[in-house]
């Protein structure tokens, strides 16, 4: 339907100036890209366009860049004390490095602010909660009493009764996901795993490990799961149960999937509650959400199967750990299938770190619900502070409403990235505002970033990357979007050439800007649209729409060249005010 | 062939005294079993016979026997200090418990003897080696330099070049097995997993998780893989590659599978080196074997794919950890298959404990190869000491040649088992002699065990279990095997009624004991055989051999009743010396 309207609209256009303008249109006139490609993980910048390509995996070698070799003690070491002195020296230097690195840490969601001095006395013991937290083993040096206390606390947080839940303290967020998805698969052996593209990589690792069919669902610009796409992907697979990974905070953008909408979509597609299993990956925000007003509640009163959260993130812990809670019915189902085991074997790992539960128990007791609430509020406040100050400084930045993850333009200098230990992906980097991240630290960071940027981008040929594809036009402050913003062209989603009859669109633009049509000719709108939406690929392939298609294939630089030509053309037709705007536009690129 | 010989031999017998004796044979005359059933994991004792049955899994509930509840802080806690005082009290009590439990620990292979005081300073840091040890992450608070140092040390131990191996420090032995088997599956997606019945349960968990076909291979009495059975199981599956879990120390008996024989069996069955993958589960002995003379060497010069070892066992570490080493070629193969990942993602876990590598690095540096060698020798010596003293005290006990795991009769009293934290399975328990287990500790344990046994077995009706099926006739000191040993009946494997022509067998016995036939009649030999080999099930089902079959169905108690009757019968025929032997026999039961 939409398609046919558009084709009609375009046919109308193709009888106008399009052909004329396209005569001087030379898509091959590629201006060499002045931007040095940003060295990134899985994206290579070519001609200013981010092209996703498979990252070259370092194969065939192990990098031994830094290695503290283990050496055999000398016969007289005990006498001379040389080795002891050497080791003490290594450790002291290492400790200083850790202090320094802890100070300049912003990129990972680890709360580095903890004091477990009272627990140092326990380091002398080999504490191991092997197996199930609720089944005593004969190994006496365990901390199950602490573990169960912590699990009960989380069960209360996620609204499930003591007798209805089962859980354990894991080694990390990945183990939680591996467990949740395994339980889902055991409940529905032929179930299909659905997860948004921005889910943590461990979710896809699980699918591969467990030999599960896995369907990737698109995401919105915010990073949330796109439930329209989810619906499209659910419907053809209706004969198989669904296992869904819901992100309570994605890794990169801190986006919180709308759990209620996911459930609603499943119901609307005809999945009854006994035909789906939802695992909530709350690695980071699973513990923050309950304290954020307006946040969709993670609760076992809803038809979810499991929730996991990391313990070393918001809580803070010397070593990685996590909490996994699921319904005991599921664990019973899983255990009934296990014919080769003498006992319930429901954990992924066998021997389990018994110190982690004590660290968690200690912090939960110290802070309590109220303490966490205060810290969550502080983190969200500080995250807003950072985002606002970045935007004020003209830096592209985004902050999801329910998140303390500020996504922004990837710093050009890898040294800076390493110094602040920023996690990067493609053109974006992020700061996760944890309780250990104070306003002072953010100020230091901002000051340094602004200073450095002035040097990175002092040469006009080097420009900050455009992030409209990653964080949306409204959050992008790249030179182009900055000037477009100033020009107030105001091209919004609903004006997409793909969505909106061209005539109506032009009428609106005409009403608003009067001389837009005169300025760059009728096709220029498509140039602008492409600039604003680098990923736009029109579906028009009608022979007489070929020019439109060609535009969608151009790089930004090529488009700018075209606009420049058209502006010259338009100059004769248009008033000076537009020319001035153009000058300003070019100057700030 | 063997079968037909035996049938012939038995037909011969059935024309003799058999029928006569069987007239007074009443298999229904079941004497009620005076032994209280031992409360065990997956074995229930009925009439003195260990019957394997599925353990009742505790379903539908979580046992909250001990739980240190997390409580919300009071508003005035900071002022009064009440909560701090409460928590300090809990921790102090807990510490005392840990000291006590560490003192009385024998059953688990954890070296509890370590002093990491110099590392306490690092507890303040959230050290995380997320991802690959050889690929730097931007998170600066890591310990990769220590980790790589430790890995290099193990690579040297297992004879693989720095550039040829890949590995990482895991969370526990289970993670090592999960990784090794996953790599095997990625190398051979349609491979069949072979593992001996006495492999660690994580191996079978892996098969289930990874949806792999899994074939269980029988074991010898020692606990080693039975390569004859392995061959039988390999041959029909020759069209599929083989993935083999080789135990470098089984969990229960500490049996070391013969790696060279496993490889030889594969080769003889026509598996070329590119058609199998061997994972060596060296959870415990992977670190001890290299220091034991005569032990088959674990080495990457042999066609093995991976080796794992636990770090908290022989080395000793406050929290569980392990080392996993594999060939980098395999990891490259694995990474090439990963289309959805931006980077090499070859570890099972994502965030990884950065403290564990430092603990390992510290101990390896302190002790070195020589230090470990000394400790291994001490452990083996002490294990022999324990085994010998147990046998001297008339307790069934076994110690594999390459092992420090002493397997013995499961103590009757669960309180005693818990106190010494013994790991039990069925009728057996074990002590794993680790560096922290001194002669003094063993003496204390032995003294208490002997004392307790005197009370457990003071009433003649309660007798220690027969362990001939678990640890072999020669290691069993149950009342029956004790007296049989004294009588020097000397029935050995080669004299099995299933293996040996009866006439020849009787000739031998006759030569040796003269009056054996007179003593208990011709059928009694089968009674004795059944007593010595509780699992014996004859394959003779010829109609005229039915009596033999019936004997194999009898419980020990029923057999003893029959022997008692026959001894009365034999009394008339035999001399006094045999009668005295019989009295002694009955008295010591």
Contact indicator for A276, A238 with CB cutoff of 8 Å: no
Chain B residues whose CB is inside 8 A of the A110 CB are 126, 128, 139, 141
Indicate whether A518 pLDDT > 70. Answer: no
- Residue A182 corresponds to which tokens in the numbers above? 């395994």
A586 touches chain B (CB under 8 A): no
Residue to test with chain A: of B365, B370, B418, most A Cβ within 10 A:
B365
Confirm if A170 and A307 have CB atoms less than 8 A apart: no
Chain B nearest CA to A564, separation (Å)? 37
Q: Are B120 and A80 in contact (CB under 8 A)?
A: no
pLDDT of A30 higher than 70 = no
pLDDT band of residue A77 (cuts 50, 70, 90) is confident
How close A520 comes to chain B (CA, Å)? 41
- A193 membership: H or E segment, kind and range: strand A192-196
Q: Which chain A residue shows the shortest CA-CA distance from B54? A: A342
Pairing state of beta strands A322-327 and A397-399?
unpaired
Size of interface A-B (CB pairs under 8 A): 377
Average pLDDT rounded to a whole number, residues A485-513: 40
- Positions of B annotated as catalytic residues are 403
**Which of A140, A168, A350, A147 minimizes the C-alpha distance to B423?**
A140
**Spatial CA neighbour of B245 closest among B302, B197, B312, B314:** B197
Residue A417, min C-alpha distance to chain B (Å)? 8
User: What was the pLDDT predicted at A384?
Assistant: 96
Domain A141-366 has CATH 3.10.290.10: no
Give the integer Cα–Cα distance in Å for A237 and B434.
55
pLDDT at B558: 73
Residue B7 to residue B543: CA distance in whole angstroms: 11
Catalytic residue, chosen from A222, A403, A436, A555, is: A403
- pLDDT digit string, tens, across residues B446-479: 999 999 999 999 887 788 888 888 998 788 887 7
Long-range contacts of B491-500 (CB under 8 A, 24+ apart): B491/B525, B491/B528, B491/B529, B491/B532, B495/B529, B496/B529, B496/B533, B496/B536, B497/B6, B497/B10, B497/B525, B497/B526, B497/B529, B497/B538, B497/B548, B498/B2, B498/B6, B498/B536, B498/B538, B498/B539, B499/B2, B499/B6
The confidence score (pLDDT) of residue B434 equals: 93
3-state helix, strand, coil in chain B (%, to 5): 50, 10, 40
Q: Is the Cβ of B378 closer than 8 Å to some Cβ of chain A? A: no
- CB of A6 within 8 Å of a chain B CB? The answer is no
Among A164-168, A326-330, B29-33, B316-320, which stretch is predicted with the lowest mean pLDDT? B29-33
Is residue B342 less than 8 Å (CB to CB) from chain A? yes
* Conformational region of residue A394, where left means phi above 0, alpha means psi within -120 to 50, and beta covers everything else: left
Q: Do B210 and A205 touch (CB under 8 A)?
A: no
Domain ranges for chain A, please list them.
12-103, 141-366, 368-469, 478-588
Question: What are the residue ranges in chain B where pLDDT is below 70?
Answer: 1-65, 335-343, 480-552, 556-557, 559-589
8 Å CB contact of A173 and B73: no
Asked if B63 and A135 come within 8 Å (Cβ–Cβ), the reply is yes
pLDDT of residue B458: 87
Q: Are A17 and A522 spatial neighbours (Cβ–Cβ below 8 Å)?
A: yes
| Token pair in block for residue A492 | 């919004």
Nearest by CB to residue A110, choosing from B61, B128, B418, is: B128
Q: What is the pLDDT of residue B224?
A: 96
Topology alike, domains B141-366 and B368-469? no
- Local confidence band at A458 (pLDDT 50, 70, 90 cut-offs): confident
* H, E, C per residue of A524-581: HHHHHHHHHCCCCCCCCCCHHHHHHHHHHCCCHHHHHHHHHHHHHHHHHHCCHHHHHH
User: Which positions in chain B touch A318 (Cβ < 8 Å)?
Assistant: 122-127, 355
Query: pLDDT tens, B204-243?
Result: 999 999 999 999 999 999 999 999 999 999 999 999 999 9
- Which helix (H) or strand (E) segment holds residue A332: the answer is helix A328-336
Token readout for A404 is 């303390």
Whether residue A136 lies within 8 A of chain B, CB to CB, comes out as: yes
Q: Which CATH class is domain A368-469?
A: alpha beta
Query: Are residues A67 and B145, on separate chains, in Cβ contact within 8 Å?
Result: yes
Do A350 and B202 make contact, defined as CB atoms within 8 angstroms?
Answer: yes
Joined tokens for residue B104: 């009385």
Q: Which one, of B498, B405, B389, lies nearest residue B198 by Cα?
A: B405
Inter-chain residue contact B350 with A201, CB threshold 8 Å: yes
Summarize pLDDT for B513-529 with one digit per residue, the tens: 434 333 334 445 566 66
Are A343 and B57 in contact (CB < 8 Å)?
A: yes
In sequence order, the 6+-apart residues with CB closer than 8 A to the CB of A448 are A416
For the stretch B289-335, pLDDT in tens is 888 888 889 999 999 999 999 999 999 999 999 999 999 999 987 76
Closest CB to A87: pick one of B55, B211, B365: B365
> What per-residue confidence (pLDDT) applies to B545?
52
CB-based contact B468:B533 (threshold 8 Å): yes
Q: What is the ipTM of this complex?
A: 0.78
pTM given for the model:
0.78
Mean pLDDT (whole number) for A304-320: 94
A105 vs B contacts (CB less than 8 Å): 139-141
| Chain B residues touching A202 at Cβ < 8 A | 350
A 411-440 near B (Cβ less than 8 A): 417-418, 421-425
Q: Do A70 and B365 touch (CB under 8 A)?
A: yes
CB contact under 8 A, A55 and B340: no
Average pLDDT over chain B reads: 78
Give the closest-approach CA distance of B550 to chain A in angstroms.
31
Q: Tell me which of A551 and A354 has the higher pLDDT.
A: A354
Residue B33 is predicted with a pLDDT of: 26
Q: What is the pLDDT of residue B565?
A: 64
A373 burial (CB, 10 Å; 0-12 / 13-18 / 19+) is middle
- pLDDT tier, A559 (very low <50, low <70, confident <90, very high otherwise): low
Contact between residue A312 and residue A321 where contact means Cβ atoms under 8 Å apart: yes
Mutation target for B interface from A50, A61, A62: give the one with most B CBs within 10 A: A62
- Do the Cβ atoms of A165 and B62 come within 8 Å? yes
A44 has which bridge partners? A51
Q: Chain B within 8 Å of A573 (Cβ-Cβ)?
A: no
Q: A85 in contact with B at a CB cutoff of 8 Å?
A: no
Q: Do B149 and A67 touch (CB under 8 A)?
A: yes
- Asked if A67 lies within 8 A of B369 by C-beta distance, the reply is no
Place of tokens 């806690």: B77
Q: Is the pLDDT of residue A242 over 50?
A: yes
């Amino acid at each position: 339907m939409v398609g046919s309207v558009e084709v009609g609209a375009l046919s109308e256009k193709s009888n106008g100036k399009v052909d004329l303008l396209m005569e001087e249109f030379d898509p091959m006139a590629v201006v060499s890209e002045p931007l040095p490609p940003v060295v990134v993980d899985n994206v290579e910048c070519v001609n200013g366009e981010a092209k996703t390509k498979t990252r070259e995996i370092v194969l065939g070698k192990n990098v031994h860049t830094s290695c503290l070799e283990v050496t055999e003690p000398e016969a007289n070491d005990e006498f001379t004390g040389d080795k002891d002195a050497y080791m003490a020296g290594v450790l002291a230097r290492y400790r200083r490095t850790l202090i320094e690195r802890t100070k300049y840490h912003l990129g990972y969601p680890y709360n580095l602010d903890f004091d477990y001095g009272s627990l140092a006395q326990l380091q002398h013991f080999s504490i191991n909660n092997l197996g199930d937290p609720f089944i005593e083993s004969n190994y006496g040096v365990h901390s199950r009493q602490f573990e169960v206390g912590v699990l009960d606390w989380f069960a209360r947080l996620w609204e499930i009764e003591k007798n209805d839940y089962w859980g354990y303290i894991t080694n990390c967020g990945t183990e939680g996901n591996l467990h949740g998805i395994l339980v889902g698969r055991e409940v529905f052996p032929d179930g299909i795993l659905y997860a948004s593209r921005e889910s943590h990589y461990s979710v896809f690792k699980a699918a591969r490990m467990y030999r599960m069919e896995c369907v990737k669902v698109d995401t919105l610009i915010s990073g949330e799961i796109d439930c329209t796409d989810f619906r499209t992907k659910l419907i053809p697979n209706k004969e198989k149960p669904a296992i869904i990974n819901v992100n309570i905070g994605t890794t990169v953008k801190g986006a919180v999937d709308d759990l209620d909408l996911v459930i609603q979509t499943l119901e609307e597609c005809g999945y009854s509650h006994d035909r789906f299993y939802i695992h909530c990956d709350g690695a980071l925000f699973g513990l923050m959400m309950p304290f954020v007003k307006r946040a969709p509640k993670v609760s076992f009163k809803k038809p979810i199967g499991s929730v996991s959260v990391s313990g070393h993130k918001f809580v803070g812990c010397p070593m990685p750990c996590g909490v996994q809670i699921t319904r005991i019915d599921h664990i019973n189902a899983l255990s009934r299938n296990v014919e080769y085991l003498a006992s319930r074997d429901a954990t992924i790992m066998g021997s389990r770190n018994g110190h982690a539960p004590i660290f968690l128990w200690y912090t939960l007791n110290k802070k309590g619900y109220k303490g966490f609430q205060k810290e969550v509020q502080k983190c969200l406040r500080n995250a807003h502070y950072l985002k606002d100050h970045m935007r004020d400084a003209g830096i592209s930045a985004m902050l999801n409403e329910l998140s303390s993850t500020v996504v922004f333009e990837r710093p050009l200098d890898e040294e800076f990235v390493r110094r602040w230990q920023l996690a990067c992906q493609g053109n974006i980097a992020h700061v996760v505002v944890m309780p250990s991240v104070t306003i002072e630290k953010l100020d230091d960071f901002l000051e340094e970033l602004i200073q450095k940027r002035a040097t990175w981008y002092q040469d006009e040929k080097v420009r900050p990357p455009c992030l409209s594809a990653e964080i949306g036009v409204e959050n992008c402050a790249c030179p182009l979007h900055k000037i477009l913003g100033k020009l107030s062209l105001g091209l919004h989603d609903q004006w997409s050439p793909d969505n909106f009859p061209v005539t109506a669109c032009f009428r609106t633009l005409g009403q608003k800007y009067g001389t837009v049509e005169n300025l760059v000719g009728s096709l220029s709108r498509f140039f602008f649209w492409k600039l604003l939406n680098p990923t736009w690929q029109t579906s028009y392939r009608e022979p007489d729409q070929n020019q439109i298609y060609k535009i969608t294939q151009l790089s930004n630089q090529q488009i700018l060249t075209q606009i420049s030509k058209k502006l010259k053309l338009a100059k004769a037709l248009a008033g000076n005010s537009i020319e001035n705007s153009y000058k300003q536009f070019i100057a700030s690129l």
